[in-house]
Amino acid sequence: MTLDAEQQTARDWFESLRTRICTAFEAIEREAGSDAAFDYFTWDRVDPSGGPGGGGVRGVMKGRVFEKVGVNVSTVGGTLEGDFARSINGAAEDPRFFATGISLVAHMANPRVPAVHMNCRFLATTKRWFGGGADLNPPLPVVEDTEDFHATLKAACDAHDADYYPRFKQWADEYFWLPHRKVHRGVGGIFFDHLEHGFDRDFAFVRNVGEAFLATYPRIVRRRMHDTFTDADVAAMRAWRGRYAEFNLVYDRGTLFGLKTGGNIDAILMSLPPLATWE
């Protein structure tokens, strides 16, 4: 794939953020006395036209603190097909597309440590835009952690537009909702899509979101990773994880986009927890 300057710039930064996040998570494992490290798996995508369609790297670590964490980066392009093309911003006029981004989901061994999701992406069709967000998913919520997470994201948003945080927080509250359960997936965060204010402005905001995540989440993990917990806490975590899996399989846009564009199945479904229960 031949990338233009904006596409290459976005790709390079997403990959550099992946490296720094993985390094930070491995450092937490070392502090817990674990030698767990990320394993990396490359994958290639074949476009429906039969030509090369890009690919990505799936990073997975299973450790003492992180029961299962996936940090994936991908850069893909080609042609969208049929009705799905008409559902993507700017692709109804021309089905050719490009997408690059980072996607992260962490499920924790200690139910007192919140799970988390973060992703940032840059897409190009006949239009160009950024999307993404981050949300905290504690099985057993703690007000201090929720406030820390939201305050850090709010500061990142406020540096760009005073309207961003309330608007993107509400969007997250509406998006990360399971209608069939009538519950939220977690304690929220921010969610945004179709930012089209120009590459430089929107890319600066997306970088701040990534940096905010890297600043706050490891801090929260360190705050809770040594907390004691009970068998009842573990049972509550696994039941909660069932709700998380339901959302990602039924409603998540990223899951659908990955499946519809021929992405790597293991990378697409890395968000699913290692152990979950349903009654």
Active site residues: 117
Question: Residue 142 phi/psi, 5° resolution?
Answer: -125, 125
Give bridge partners of residue 183 from the DSSP assignment.
Answer: 178
For 234, counting Cβ atoms within 10 Å of its Cβ (0-12 exposed, 13-18 middle, 19+ buried), the class is middle
Residue 104, sorted as left (phi over 0), alpha (psi -120 to 50) or beta, turns out to be beta
User: Which residue type does 168 have?
Assistant: F
Is residue 198 a contact partner of residue 160, using CB atoms and an 8 Å limit?
no
Angle of helix 199-224 relative to helix 5-31, nearest 10 degrees? Answer: 10
Residue whose pair of structure tokens reads 């989440």 in the numeric block? 217
Residue whose pair of structure tokens reads 């540096």 in the numeric block? 159
